Structure 1
Amino acid sequence: MLESLLSLIAATGLLLGSPGPAPLALAATGATFGIRRGAPFLAGILLGLSVAIIGASIGLAALFSRFPELRLTCQLLGAAYIAFIAYKIASAPCTQLDAAQRAPSFRDGFILNLLNPKAYAAFLAIFSQFLLPLENTSLGYLATGICALLVATLVDSLWLAFGGLLRPCFPAHARQERCEFSSPSPC
């Protein structure tokens, strides 16, 4: 059981902590607005992630109990989508960071992760590969979901804090420019 738990924690940390829409938005929010003003956005992201966990676990539990052979298919689809997202992030051009007057809200974070396909793909992979081996399968899904949410809370908080640590490196006007490094910064 301990080995399964450690595997789940490591996989969840890697899948949810890798750069994607939510982690990058959290880092940008921390760098632009600071940790305190980004906290509601983080809370919204975590609530949206909770909905993704519930949706993925309920859907997969029903699907796998009826068609156990689909487990491998879901594993392959989840892995392929995560590889695709990683490629899209790595090859994306530098875009303008919108430093509007207001920080992203709780609602913004909730909608971002509610519609975040990376979260659903990650949970397809997590629930199909790293489900905690409890006698009661429903409890296994619940325990896996709770563990994944705790890891996500830590990882997403670290992304926001990382952005907050970078905040002094970017003067306020540079945070609004499009990837230009012409103005001197303290870093």
Structure 2
Amino acid sequence: MGVAVISFLAFGASQVATPGPANMALLATGARFGFRAAIPFVFGVAIGKQLIIWPIGFGLMSLADRVPVIFEIFKYISAAYIAYLAWKVANMRLGTAGQESNVPGFLAGLWVHPLNPKAWAMIVAGFTNFVVPGTPPLQATATIAICLFICQMVFHPIWALGGDQIAKTVAGQPAEVWLMRVLAALTVLSVLYVLFGGTST
């Protein structure tokens, strides 16, 4: 009994590293405010995924089996929220001095994954595909939680740093407007993808 740790780490890394609503938010935050200012947001996003993992590990899946319509409704509400965030990204302009008070912090980051349908899909896939039947819930959940946290601590800062580096190149240039629109479009497309069968974070 247990979790296929090596296989799950490979799966988790591939999902956490690829584009999705959370990574687009990290990229946009790094681009708008700089990498250092985005660090609390990065930690909030990482911890926020734990708010999904533990309830799923301790029985939320059984509720999904009994009342599936609840999760269908939640999925579309979450998608609408991510689309709203994408609209804000599309109208965002890259880092300028004197805007530090508007930086999204740790608490803002906490909400990203609980309202991210792709994160839910990825975690459910982790429990259903990599946990050996009969594994104690605490063991399974703790293993999934630790593996994903490790992956996030590697890849989430890279996305925020990438945004910071992009901003240094295009801030104030004509390409800036198009960059933010592309990021917004990618965010929406990532949500549409999971609504029709994707699992990236």
Q: Cα distance, 1:59 vs. partner?
A: 2.4
1:27 is aligned to: 27
- Write the distance in 1 (CA, Å) between the matches of 2:107 and 2:36: 16
2:177 is aligned to: 178
Q: Cα distance, 1:176 vs. partner?
A: 10
Identity %: 27
Q: Would the alpha carbon gap of residues 161 and 63 (structure 1) be closer, same or farther in structure 2, given more than 3 Å must change?
A: same
Q: TM-score, normalised by structure 1?
A: 0.68
Q: Cα distance, 1:132 vs. partner?
A: 6.6
Q: Would the alpha carbon gap of residues 97 and 125 (structure 1) be closer, same or farther in structure 2, given more than 3 Å must change?
A: same
> Structure 2: any 5+ residue segments left out of the alignment?
69-74, 181-201
- Write the distance in 1 (CA, Å) between the matches of 2:179 and 2:21: 22
Q: Would the alpha carbon gap of residues 161 and 131 (structure 1) be closer, same or farther in structure 2, given more than 3 Å must change?
A: farther
- Write the distance in 2 (CA, Å) between the matches of 1:6 and 1:22: 24
2:150 is aligned to: 150
> Structure 1: any 5+ residue segments left out of the alignment?
65-69, 75-80, 182-187
If you compute each CA radius of gyration, which structure gives the higher value, 1 or 2? 1
- Write the distance in 1 (CA, Å) between the matches of 2:142 and 2:128: 14
Q: Cα distance, 1:175 vs. partner?
A: 9.0
Q: Cα distance, 1:27 vs. partner?
A: 0.8
Q: TM-score, normalised by structure 2?
A: 0.64
- Write the distance in 1 (CA, Å) between the matches of 2:7 and 2:19: 20
* Equivalent residue pairs, number: 159
Q: Aligned ranges for residues 14-163 of structure 1 at < 5 Å?
A: 14-59=14-59, 63=62, 95-99=90-94, 101=99, 102-131=102-131, 136-163=136-163
- Write the distance in 2 (CA, Å) between the matches of 1:54 and 1:118: 16
**How large is the Cα RMSD of the aligned pairs?**
3.6
Q: Cα distance, 1:9 vs. partner?
A: 1.0
Larger RCO, structures 1/2 (Cα 8 Å, 6+ apart): 2
Amino acid at match of 1:63: S
